[in-house]
Structure 1
Amino acid sequence: MQKKILAAVVASMMAGQAMAVTVVDNGTDKVTIGGHVGMRYVDQTDGEAAGDSSRINFGFEHKLTEATTAFAKAEWGFDTTNSGEGDFFFNRLGYVGAKNDQYGSISFGKQWSSYYTVAGWTDVMATSGGNTAGVYSELGDELGTARADDALQYNHSIMGLNISLQAQLGERDYSESEDELSNDKLDVVKRTVIAGTRDSSYGIGVSYDLPMGLTIGAAYNQAEVDVTGTVYESSKDPVTADGSYKAKSAAVAAKFEADKIYAAFTYAKLDNLNDKYLGFVEEAEGVELYARYQLNEMFRIGGGYYQLKDESSYTGAVNKGEIKYFPVEVVYTQGPVQLSGTYEFQDSVKVGTTKSVDDKLILQARYYF
């Protein structure tokens, strides 16, 4: 049996079939393998090649009764440009659970958050967007808004109402070393994180499917954080977070799906955000808007508007910084191959300065299996 599974895995990898490949399905047990390998070229002042979130995942199901199924999923990302420094593989997901046709599902482990069930509607571009609604903060996994660590989650859909409830169990320690935030050229914030602990967190996502393809929703996540010394320095006032604070993320969103059209909008209100571009932000507002049109079976075009604004009441700040850009994309899909080109019209401002951020061109090649 094990030899047959291994042979199927190797065959599926070599064949490069699109989407997840089912390697076992005997009516009781099911095993699938999926993922993709990708590369991208980014031109923003200086051009460079980089990996494209390559990953491999394994899904498992076992039928307990006619209506109840146990499941598990594990996913690892890998860096196609790794030159021997750092980890080649890194964990993205890993959870187990059970689902019932009548009562919904319960799962435990590292999984996409309840907050993401709503705030993720605008995180659908091929290479851009999705980073201004508080999902992918510096501590998104630890605090429960992204791929939440240690998460106990319940999900259920009934008569168009979709509910997701989440609690992160146990404490989670984190520590960072001093570095410069240089992502996307927003590089003037110096960060020093000595240590911190997430004591607890909870999240909820609720949405309702209306007729004609419209869905509306709201999500909330709150984490209790203890820190022993977190400092962000720039030409704005230094921000020190000692003791404890509550990291809060609240979002409302809507999406529309019909035939060849997809459109979504997200508004987020964020307190005590650890943002990897803007540093520690006491109060922020995020807006995300995306729309696309499927031209034919192979081509689609899309565009969006993404903004994250620091609304904190610092004194003496030269500039609090802002993320603001307008991406447009063309995506080509043929079988397991995806090629895309995205251009970001940037209107962002570097923290502590009046300097704007350069426009960005992103070219992507991805192969699904």
Structure 2
Amino acid sequence: MKIKLVFIFLILCSGFNLGAQTRNDSLTLSFKPYSSFRGHFSLFNGELEIQQNASRIGFEIALSKENSTFFAGSELSLNMFRGDQQFNLDASTSGGFIDIDSYQVNQVFGTRLGYLGVKFKRGGTIMVGKQWSVYYDVTGYTDKFNVFGGGGTATYTSGTDGGTTGTGRADQAITYRNQFGKLHLGLQLQAENANNNHIIDGYGISGQLELIKGLKIGGTYYRVLIQDTLRKNTIGFDKNPEYMAFGINYVNNKWDLGLVYSDQSNGDLRRNYIGNDIAAIVFDASGIEFYSKYTFQEFSIIAGFNQYKPKILNLPLSNGFKTDYYILGFEYKPLKHAYFYSEFRINSNNNRDHLGEKSVNVYTAGLRIDLERSFNRIIMTSK
């Protein structure tokens, strides 16, 4: 099915024609294909490995008239290289939470996004399907590194894309977004599982306020409703997961600065052996992520850090479990749609996984090509 979608994507790219002048009795059909090809080599643990880095292809098609636009979109991950390691958290296409759904792992194509929607001129935008969450409206302030990042905001929980938890690319979500002056509002519901003992599976809200041009602050809250029997039979899982985040973002023609603080309860997990059996262990945590980028001519310098502190009292996880690392990098952009990048993850002495093992420093250097084009055609309607 996914291969067929790729063929359709290529046919539409090659066969779409531009239209004529707009009239009152006409519809505007637009088609926007896009792609991002990313790959690098990584140096870590004394080894060198070629890795893909969240490459993707996608499109959005829309039909507009007067004050409304109906649209649909799809985005597929593209696994270009067969590397064993993956450092970019955004690249995951695994779903689930307690039971991790990993059937798309290492496949050539995987689902990243798929949605339908309608946008009204003053009434806001409604979207249905797999889409970026309202939680990400705020945590996305800092999720802009080429390779690393996203580890301090509880966006990509338990090695997934944040689909089931509704914090990343939310599964089976309904969202409403609108702007009232300088206030941006987002609402979200999830309806994933008909066998759950809840009418809905999650709900949340985000709000962003633009203080001055380029400067905004935001806050978000999201709650997931997990099946009661599953929650009661999982270690550390005493209540339904809740996520909160607050952030600030400033962007101009030279600077891009972002800072996000997050706090989650019962919202993340790791797996460890209990006797001879491996079990999922749910925990609370708080985190902080900082991103900065300064651009001058073709060059950009990137710096930031991620910190994520689990609360593991009386849980079978290492007492030293903590995410704590710094990121340094640069970009060189000789062409409008292509650039070289390099990032270095520098771990502090406190950066240890849930088993107490120290994480290694990682150096990456790679290439990224971004392509995007919009096509428009006027369709005449009968009176």
TM-score strictly above 0.5: yes
**Post-superposition offset of 1:269:** 0.5
**5+ unaligned residues in a row in structure 2: which ranges?**
1-6, 23-27, 84-104, 273-279, 372-383
**Post-superposition offset of 1:173:** 8.2
Work out whether residues 236 and 283 of structure 2, in 8 Å CA contact, stay in contact via their aligned partners in 1. Answer: no
Partner of 1:42: 42
Q: Secondary structure at the match of 2:257?
A: strand
Percent identity at matched positions? 23
Work out whether residues 127 and 364 of structure 1, in 8 Å CA contact, stay in contact via their aligned partners in 2. Answer: no
Work out whether residues 198 and 225 of structure 1, in 8 Å CA contact, stay in contact via their aligned partners in 2. Answer: no
**5+ unaligned residues in a row in structure 1: which ranges?**
12-21, 175-195, 233-238
Structure 2 counterparts to residues 1-369 of structure 1, below 5 A: 9-10=13-14, 28-45=28-45, 46-63=47-64, 65-82=65-82, 86-138=106-158, 139=160, 140-171=162-193, 200-226=201-227, 240=235, 245-275=239-269, 280-296=281-297, 298-314=298-314, 318-333=318-333, 334-347=335-348, 348-353=351-356, 355-369=357-371
CA 1:68 to 1:293, structure 2 compared with 1: closer, same or farther past 3 Å? same
Q: Distance in 1 between matches of 2:182 and 2:69?
A: 22
CA 1:349 to 1:71, structure 2 compared with 1: closer, same or farther past 3 Å? same
- Letter of the structure 1 residue corresponding to residue 268 of structure 2: N
CA 1:337 to 1:317, structure 2 compared with 1: closer, same or farther past 3 Å? closer
Q: Distance in 2 between matches of 1:281 and 1:162?
A: 33
Spell out, residue by residue over 1:161-211, the C-alpha distance to the aligned partner (whole angstroms, 9 max, x if none). 00010000241789xxxxxxxxxxxxxxxxxxxxx9996101211000011
Spell out, residue by residue over 1:217-252, the C-alpha distance to the aligned partner (whole angstroms, 9 max, x if none). 1011110112766899xxxxxx7257x741111001
CA 1:72 to 1:8, structure 2 compared with 1: closer, same or farther past 3 Å? closer
CA 1:122 to 1:5, structure 2 compared with 1: closer, same or farther past 3 Å? closer
Equivalenced residue count is 326
Work out whether residues 154 and 264 of structure 2, in 8 Å CA contact, stay in contact via their aligned partners in 1. Answer: yes
Q: Distance in 2 between matches of 1:36 and 1:323?
A: 29
Q: Distance in 2 between matches of 1:339 and 1:276?
A: 34
CA 1:281 to 1:318, structure 2 compared with 1: closer, same or farther past 3 Å? same
CA 1:318 to 1:32, structure 2 compared with 1: closer, same or farther past 3 Å? closer
Q: Distance in 2 between matches of 1:255 and 1:224?
A: 30
TM-score (norm 2): 0.77
Q: Distance in 1 between matches of 2:365 and 2:149?
A: 15
Q: Distance in 2 between matches of 1:331 and 1:223?
A: 38
- Letter of the structure 1 residue corresponding to residue 130 of structure 2: K
Partner of 1:18: none
Spell out, residue by residue over 1:129-162, the C-alpha distance to the aligned partner (whole angstroms, 9 max, x if none). 1222011112510120010011000000121100
Q: Distance in 2 between matches of 1:214 and 1:324?
A: 27
**Post-superposition offset of 1:287:** 0.3
CA 1:360 to 1:300, structure 2 compared with 1: closer, same or farther past 3 Å? same
Between 324-333 and 344-353, the greater mean CA deviation after superposition: 344-353
Work out whether residues 227 and 241 of structure 1, in 8 Å CA contact, stay in contact via their aligned partners in 2. Answer: no
Work out whether residues 129 and 306 of structure 1, in 8 Å CA contact, stay in contact via their aligned partners in 2. Answer: yes
Work out whether residues 53 and 77 of structure 1, in 8 Å CA contact, stay in contact via their aligned partners in 2. Answer: yes
- Letter of the structure 1 residue corresponding to residue 51 of structure 2: A
CA 1:132 to 1:266, structure 2 compared with 1: closer, same or farther past 3 Å? same
**Post-superposition offset of 1:356:** 2.4
Q: Distance in 1 between matches of 2:257 and 2:121?
A: 30
Work out whether residues 220 and 251 of structure 1, in 8 Å CA contact, stay in contact via their aligned partners in 2. Answer: yes
**Post-superposition offset of 1:357:** 1.7
Work out whether residues 151 and 323 of structure 2, in 8 Å CA contact, stay in contact via their aligned partners in 1. Answer: no
Q: Distance in 2 between matches of 1:316 and 1:223?
A: 24
Q: Distance in 2 between matches of 1:201 and 1:231?
A: 18
Spell out, residue by residue over 1:64-84, the C-alpha distance to the aligned partner (whole angstroms, 9 max, x if none). x3111111111101100249x
RMSD of aligned Cα (Å): 3.2
Work out whether residues 308 and 324 of structure 1, in 8 Å CA contact, stay in contact via their aligned partners in 2. Answer: yes
Q: Secondary structure at the match of 1:61?
A: strand
Spell out, residue by residue over 1:59-118, the C-alpha distance to the aligned partner (whole angstroms, 9 max, x if none). 11101x3111111111101100249x9521111101011111111111100000000001
Q: Distance in 1 between matches of 2:128 and 2:44?
A: 40
CA 1:345 to 1:280, structure 2 compared with 1: closer, same or farther past 3 Å? same
**Post-superposition offset of 1:312:** 3.0
**Post-superposition offset of 1:47:** 2.1
Q: Distance in 2 between matches of 1:106 and 1:48?
A: 42
Q: Distance in 1 between matches of 2:55 and 2:156?
A: 18
